[in-house]
Chains A and B, each alone.
Chain A
Amino acid sequence: MKLLVPALALLALLLPVSATAQEINGADTAWILTSTALVLFMTIPGLSLFYAGLVRVRNVLSVLMQCFALTCLMSLVWFAVGYTIAFGSDGVEQGAFIGDFGNMFFANITMDSVNGSIPASLFAIFQMTFAIITPALIVGGFAERMKFSAMLLFSTIWLIFVYAPICHWVWGGGWLGNMGLQDFAGGTVVHITAGVAAVVAAMVMGPRRGFGSVAMPPHNLTLTVTGAGMLWVGWFGFNAGSAVAADNSAAMAMLVTHLSAACGSLAWMTMEWLRHGKPSVLGIVTGMVAGLGTITPASGSVGPAGAVVIGLSAGVVCYFATNFLKQKLKIDDSLDVFPVHGVGGILGTLLAGIFCSTQLGLFSGNGFSDGVSSIGGQLMVQGTGVISTLIYTAIASYIILKLVDLIVGLRVSDEEETQGLDLVLHDERGYDL
């Protein structure tokens, strides 16, 4: 083996240049162009509408504004430093924890640069859409009470110090990826980081005024259902696009993603029907998000039957997690980001370690990572990914929140909160009916 590597390198030198240079594949490029648009569509308007409907009428614009402004600002942060911390530059040996800084301001991304079988520019913007939606997901944790300025500052620092490094650990050549962590589309990178940051933010900032005593029902569930439908469609780009190719892996990812969304929806709906007596609209769409978030890390690892089990368990586990956080722990994670995305991300990352096995008959998946030979071994790797992501995100998010609190203050005043963020922070009202 030791002799083989230099021998191959020598052989490569002898081949004509065109055979060794990475070549752009048209089909792959077309699919990732499409996927990139789909993932951006998840944030604006999908997630924005999903969240906007869930808040009270006086804060509807504030969450739409937060998601939209994050789309703009996170793009620039990704361009400036985020991308290079996560992925470094081509041809440079990558460290275990962060990428090299050679690609700041997309310095190495030109018309001719290639990443795998697609243009490097396309890979950069495809990943950019993930860096947009992850901070946007956190918005649900601190909705209806955070200052807009504090939200922008927090998200900027968080993208640089939490999202980008963890993205590197898993996808950028860092230690978790090298260890064999199976996280196809972002169970750890996106959903655990967003979920944990949201619940930490909710705890640091405290509950909304009147939480637990005043009714805070969603003001417009039709917006929420509209956004949910867009999320489901957009998620095809998120998961099937994560194959970074137009191939069998992308197609299977789309199939398992869809099945899991369907099963998560039905499972949550059934839980409410059994326990409350009626199936709710909010329940079925929340189950959909749980099913999608949970299949995300597993979407490149499992087969269709495994996806059904993952989706069903997502609907049930996230349902109980939501009730537990709200009713027992009394934490005001306003739009339930942790119990749906965080718990779903954890569950999916772990279940990927089981249903990737090729020995489960109908429930078999695509196999263990290199160097791993059993479900137990793969679960150890998956567990390491979950725990390290969870602990690092919690600590770093806590520090960033405290820092932002010192600089600009996290919360609006009690009076402003009662009046509503739309008027107080933006001088606008969502509806003039």
Chain B
Amino acid sequence: MKMITAIIKPFKLDDVRDALHDIGIMGMTVEEVKGYGRQKGHTELYRGAEYLVEFQPKVKLQVAVSSDQVDRVVDAITGAANTGKIGDGKIFVSALEQSIRIRTGESGEDAL
């Protein structure tokens, strides 16, 4: 099992959700986050007081999948979240030791 974590542009969330839905991914967890990579921040100006805001708003989305689904999920996210511009985000894939469905007590891939 793998945990796929994607940091994407907020306005791409709906496209990514649709793309994952199309390949049969039925659940995900989403958070609003802030951060920066190669994309620069922006300045805000309030009556002559200028502030450099380094952190950009992004959406972090996590999907737990079986190992054989990883490539398709990564392709789906990459395809849907890509704008070709700097700041499109990143995808991280990490090992997932265990998963348990709380209601039934099922575990492993059955719980995904």
Which residues of B1-60 have CB atoms within 8 Å of chain A's CB atoms? 44-49, 51, 53
- Give A367-383 interface residues, CB cut-off 8 Å to B: none
Additional A-B contact list (5), CB under 8 Å, known A272-B45, A323-B48, A326-B47: A216-B49, A280-B46, A322-B47, A326-B48, A326-B49
1/0 contact string of A212-247 vs chain B (CB within 8 Å)? 000111100000000000000000000000000000
A336 vs B48: C-alpha distance in the bound complex, in angstroms?
A: 10
Contact call B47/A276, Cβ cutoff below 8 A: no
| A282 x B46 contact (CB < 8 A) | yes
Instruction: Give the CA-CA distance A278 to B49 in the complex, in Å.
Output: 14
The answer to whether B46 touches A327 (Cβ under 8 A) is: no
Q: Please, which residues of chain A bring their CB within 8 A of the CB of B51?
A: 215, 217
- Give the interface residue-count category, chain B: under 10
Query: Could you tell me the distance between the alpha carbons of A217 and B50 in the complex, rounded to whole angstroms?
Result: 9
**CA separation between A286 and B47, bound complex, in Å?**
8
- Determine if A291 is an interface residue (Cβ-Cβ < 8 Å): no
Decide if A276 touches B46 in the complex (CB within 8 Å): no
Measured CA separation A286–B45 after assembly (Å): 13
Instruction: Give 10 CB contacts A-B under 8 Å.
Output: A216-B49, A217-B44, A217-B49, A218-B46, A272-B45, A278-B45, A280-B45, A280-B46, A282-B47, A323-B48
User: Does any Cβ of B come within 8 Å of A283's Cβ?
Assistant: yes
Least CB separation from A327: chain B residue: B48
Question: Within the assembled complex, what's the spacing in Å between the Cα atoms of A323 and B46?
Answer: 10
A87: min CB distance to chain B, Å: 36
The residue of chain A having its C-beta at the shortest distance from the C-beta of B44 within the complex is A217
| Cβ contacts under 8 Å, B46 to chain A | 217-218, 280, 282
Kindly list chain A residues whose C-beta atoms are within 8 Å of the C-beta of B47: 282-283, 286, 322, 326, 336
Complex Cα distance A12/B50, Å?
67
What separation, in Å, do the CA atoms of A336 and B49 have in the docked complex? 11
CB distance from B44 to the nearest CB of A (A): 6
Chain A nearest Cβ from B23, distance in angstroms: 36
- Alpha-carbon distance between A214 and B44 when the two chains are bound, in angstroms: 13
Report the bound CA distance from A282 to B46 in whole Å: 7
Q: Please give, as numbers and ranges, the residues of chain B lying within 8 Å of A276 by CB-CB distance.
A: 45
Determine how close the nearest CB of chain A comes to the CB of B54; give it in whole angstroms: 10
Report how far A428 CA is from B45 CA in the complex, Å.
30
CB-CB nearest in chain B for A268:
B47
- Which residues on A sit within 8 Å (CB–CB) of B49? 216-217, 326
Question: Shortest distance in angstroms between A235's beta carbon and chain B's nearest beta carbon?
Answer: 20
Q: B48's contact among A218, A278, A322, by CB below 8 Å, is which?
A: A322
With both beta carbons as reference points, the residue of chain A lying nearest to B53 in the complex is identified as: A215
Task: Give the docked Cα–Cα distance between A310 and B74 (Å).
Answer: 61
Question: What CA separation (Å) do A21 and B74 show in the bound complex?
Answer: 91
Assembled-state Cα–Cα distance A323/B48 (Å): 5
A340's nearest neighbour on chain B, judged by CB, is: B47
Complex Cα gap A216–B48 (Å): 12
Which residues on the B side are within 8 Å of A283 (C-beta)? 47
Chain B residues lying within 8 Å of A216, measured Cβ to Cβ, are 49
Within 8 A of A (CB), among B55-96: none
Report chain B residues within 8 Å CB of A336: 47
Which residue on A lies nearest to B52, using beta carbons? A215
Q: How far is the CB of A359 from chain B (nearest CB, A)?
A: 38
Residues on B with beta carbons closer than 8 Å to the beta carbon of A286: 47
Q: Which residues of B contact A280 (CB under 8 A)?
A: 45-46
Residue ID in chain B nearest A218 by CB atoms: B46
Shortest beta-carbon contacts, A-B, top 6: A323-B48, A215-B51, A326-B48, A322-B48, A322-B47, A276-B45
Query: Which chain B residue lies CB-closest to A318?
Result: B47
User: CB-CB < 8 A to B45: which residues of A?
Assistant: 272, 276, 278, 280
Contacts of A215 in B (CB 8 A): 44, 51, 53
Interface positions of A from 235 to 291, Cβ below 8 Å from B: 272, 276, 278, 280, 282-283, 286
Q: Which residues of A contact B44 (CB under 8 A)?
A: 215, 217
The complex places the Cα of A215 from the Cα of B50 at a distance, in Å, of 8
Q: Roughly how many angstroms separate A385 CA and B52 CA in the complex, as a whole number?
A: 42
Which of chain B's residues has its CB closest to A286's CB?
B47
CA–CA, A280 to B47, complex, Å?
9
User: Residue of A at shortest CB range from B48?
Assistant: A323
Query: Can you list, as one digit per residue, whether each of A277-316 has a CB less than 8 Å from chain B (1) or not (0)?
Result: 0101011001000000000000000000000000000000
Distance (whole angstroms) from the CB of B42 to the closest CB of chain A: 11
0/1 interface trace, chain A 122-162, chain B, CB 8 Å (1 if under): 00000000000000000000000000000000000000000
Q: Kindly report which residue of chain A lies nearest to residue B49, judged by CB atoms.
A: A326
Cα–Cα, bound, A276→B51 (Å): 13
Closest-CB distance, B57 to chain A (whole angstroms): 15
Bound complex: CA of A326 vs CA of B51, how far in Å? 13
